[in-house]
Amino acid sequence: MAKVIEGLYYAESHEYVRVEGEFGYVGITDYAQSQLGNVTYVDMPEVDDEVTAGEEFGAVESVKAASDVISPVSGTIVEINEALEDQPELINQDAFANWIIKVQLSDPSEVENLMDAAAYEAICK
């Protein structure tokens, strides 16, 4: 059973955002990593790139497949999780601890368009 964490916001395309002040930490959910299997590569954007809610900003890849990662929020990337460059498997170990990008949110109210944990858990069944 895939893990879902309270307090995060979830997108239908299986990304989450954890909001801390004016920043959002974006990654893929535990359900997404379990469907993908062993992650072998994470394609990441660069710091200062702009992301837009609903648009892809990178990809998470297993041996067989590449899966686009869609940003649930808009803003400017202030940090990428560099640990994933050498250890993409961290996403399998703990998808929620190993976010992919940290975004300075341009419109914090956008999270209202996302699901809470209960709603997201329901679509993963």
Partner 1 sequence: MDKRTCLYEKHIGLEAKMVSFGGFEMPIQYTDITDEHLAVRQHCGVFDVSHMGEVLVTGPEAERFVQHIFTNDVKGLEAGKILYGMMLHENGGTIDDLLVYKEADDRFFLVINAANIDKDYAWISSEAQKYDVKAENQSEYYGQIAVQGPDTERIVESVLGLECKELVFYTFKHIEVDGETIIVSRTGYTGEDGFEIYGSHKFIQQAWDKLLACGEVKPCGLGCRDTLRFEVGLPLYGDELTDDLSPLEAGLGMFCKLDKEEFVGREAVAKQKEEGLTRKIVGIELEGKAIPRHGYEVVVNDEVVGHVTTGYNSIMTGKSVCMALVDIAYAKLDTPVQVRIHRKLHNGVVVKKRFYQKSYKK
Residue ranges binding partner 1 (CB under 8 A): 37-38, 40-41, 43, 58-59, 61-64, 66
Of 89 and 116, the one with the shorter C-beta distance to partner 1 is: 89
Minimal distance, residue 64 CB to partner 1, in Å: 5
Contacts of 11 (CB under 8 A, 6+ apart): 17, 70, 72, 114, 115
Query: Please, which residue, 40 or 104, has the CB nearer to partner 1?
Result: 40
* Residue closer to partner 1 (CB basis): 63 or 122: 63
Closer residue to partner 1 in complex, CB, 43/116? 43
Could you tell me the smallest distance in angstroms from the CB atom of residue 6 to partner 1? 30
Q: 62 near 112, Cβ under 8 Å?
A: no
User: What is the Cα–Cα distance from 110 to 34, expressed in whole angstroms?
Assistant: 27
Minimum CB separation of residue 40 from partner 1 in Å reads 5
Minimum distance from residue 123 beta carbon to partner 1 (Å): 20
